């Protein structure tokens, strides 16, 4: 299915080379100030930048609204948003359709949809689909704004090159302007060089994105199966190429002692906080009021020019493949706003479930 969320429910639709990619955003309270510009701005952040990692495909991605908005306010009805697919070139696709591309969902799609899926451009499996996530995230962020929740993500690692730690403000200012969405300018330069070399070689690299939400009220989520971390992980794994999710210290916590990993608790300005945040702002599935910190592992772009071993499913025999065409040698920077969007969608849903969002905005 293509819907996520219980009270703030996002339904994604569209295929990479179909007419459009869009989302129905259901459960947004009436009266929220929301313009097409608010959404366009987020969609623009997802565009292939001028940076070293960019694809050649030109995406104009002008957001259209089909329902739920009137005179700059949400109406309470489902909000339907879309961007048209343009500048589509199917010629590469048709050539290689019978040869399964390694690292892609070609085989699983074949099993699932029996050859009927619209595989052009990756179809429903394409990174292009994340435009629908970003549009929905833009709505969620406007709601979270009213609760004082701010979200920012940044590139913390590409091809093994790690960025230095960054504050939330650094991320908001520096990472946002950096072509690789990295707050560490030096690391960003090295990452850029690495990507350039890798692209030259017809190869690709992955990386790690960190998303942070500040101002999240304590008390969102529940233990067991309404766990905030659980829904965040599920939403983030819906982003193509994400292969892992960790919270706070994450996998590093597995190598720490309890005395190191436990976050000491103290009082600051009358508020209970922890002096470290190895928990990543979530304990027992519930937000603690500390920043929610999540990191996702992004695998290297599956489409590479280098020759790979595969199978021709029509002839059912071994074959070789080179995936020609326009491909990002590294999609990490473009996935950064998508991580923010999915965090926003999930946090918004949990805020609604907790009764924190007014049914009608003023």
Residues of span 166-195 touching its own copies by CB under 8 A: none
Token readout for 140 is: 């969620």
Shortest Å distance, C-beta 44 to its own copies = 22
* Residue placing its CB nearer to its own copies in the complex, 78 or 215: 78
291 lies in the binding site for its own copies (CB under 8 A): no
Task: Dump strand ranges (E) for 27-163.
Answer: 63-67, 69-70, 73-74, 79-84, 150-158, 161-162
246 lies in the binding site for its own copies (CB under 8 A): yes
Residue from the set 127, 137, 206, 333 that interacts with its own copies by CB under 8 A: 206
Residue from the set 57, 285, 322, 325 that interacts with its own copies by CB under 8 A: 285
Q: Which of residues 77-136 bind its own copies (CB under 8 A)?
A: 77-78, 80, 82, 100, 102-105, 107-109, 111-118, 123-125, 129
Q: Which of residues 322-351 bind its own copies (CB under 8 A)?
A: none
Please state, in angstroms and rounded to a whole number, the distance separating the CA atoms of residues 163 and 166: 8
238 lies in the binding site for its own copies (CB under 8 A): yes
55 lies in the binding site for its own copies (CB under 8 A): no
DSSP, collapsed to helix, strand or coil, labels residue 264 as coil
Tell me the β-bridge partners of 23: 12, 81
Residue from the set 48, 49, 219, 325 that interacts with its own copies by CB under 8 A: 219
* Residue placing its CB nearer to its own copies in the complex, 117 or 185: 117
Residue from the set 193, 265, 314, 324 that interacts with its own copies by CB under 8 A: 265
214 lies in the binding site for its own copies (CB under 8 A): no
Tell me the β-bridge partners of 79: 25
Please state, in angstroms and rounded to a whole number, the distance separating the CA atoms of residues 11 and 138: 14
Residue from the set 226, 322, 325, 326 that interacts with its own copies by CB under 8 A: 226
Shortest Å distance, C-beta 143 to its own copies = 13
Please state, in angstroms and rounded to a whole number, the distance separating the CA atoms of residues 290 and 361: 26
Please state, in angstroms and rounded to a whole number, the distance separating the CA atoms of residues 75 and 251: 43
Nearest to 10 by CA among 68, 73, 80: 80
Shortest Å distance, C-beta 58 to its own copies = 21
For its own copies (CB under 8 A), the number of binding residues is 147
Please state, in angstroms and rounded to a whole number, the distance separating the CA atoms of residues 362 and 355: 16
The CA distances from residue 130 to 5, 63, 96, 191, 242, in Å, are 16, 14, 24, 23, 12
Shortest Å distance, C-beta 349 to its own copies = 12
**Angle formed by the axes of helices 332-353 and 228-237, to 10°?**
140
């Amino acid at each position: 299915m293509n819907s996520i969320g219980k009270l703030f429910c996002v339904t994604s639709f569209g295929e990479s080379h179909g007419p459009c990619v869009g989302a129905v955003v259901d459960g947004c309270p009436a009266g929220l100030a929301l313009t097409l510009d608010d959404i366009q701005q987020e969609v623009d952040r997802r565009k292939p930048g001028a940076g070293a990692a960019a694809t050649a495909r030109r995406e104009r991605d002008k957001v259209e609204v089909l329902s739920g908005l009137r005179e700059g306010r949400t109406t309470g009805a489902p909000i339907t948003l879309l961007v048209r697919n343009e500048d589509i070139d199917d010629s590469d696709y048709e050539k290689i359709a019978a040869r399964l591309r390694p690292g892609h969902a070609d085989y699983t799609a074949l099993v699932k949809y029996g050859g009927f899926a619209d595989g052009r451009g990756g179809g429903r499996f394409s990174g292009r689909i994340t435009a629908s996530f970003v549009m929905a995230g833009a709505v969620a962020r406007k709601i979270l704004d009213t609760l004082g929740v701010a979200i920012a993500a940044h590139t913390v690692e590409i091809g093994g090159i790690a960025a230095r730690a960054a504050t939330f403000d650094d991320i908001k200012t520096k990472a946002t302007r950096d072509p690789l969405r990295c707050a560490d300018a030096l690391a960003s330069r090295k990452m850029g060089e690495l990507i350039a070399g890798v692209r030259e070689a017809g190869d690709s690299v992955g990386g790690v994105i960190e998303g942070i939400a500040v101002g999240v009220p304590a008390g969102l989520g529940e233990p067991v199966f309404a766990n905030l971390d659980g829904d965040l992980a599920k939403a983030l794994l819906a982003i193509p190429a994400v292969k892992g999710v960790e919270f706070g210290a994450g996998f590093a916590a597995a190598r720490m002692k309890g005395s190191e990993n436990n976050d000491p608790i103290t009082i600051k300005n009358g508020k209970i906080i922890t002096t470290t945040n190895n928990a990543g702002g979530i304990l027992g599935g519930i937000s603690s009021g500390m920043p929610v910190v999540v990191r996702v592992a992004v695998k290297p772009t599956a489409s590479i020019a280098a020759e790979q071993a595969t199978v021709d499913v029509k002839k059912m025999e071994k074959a070789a493949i080179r995936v020609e065409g326009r491909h990002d040698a590294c999609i990490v920077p473009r996935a950064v706003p998508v991580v923010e969007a999915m965090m926003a969608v999930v946090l918004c849903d949990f805020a609604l479930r907790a009764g924190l969002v007014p049914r009608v905005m003023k």
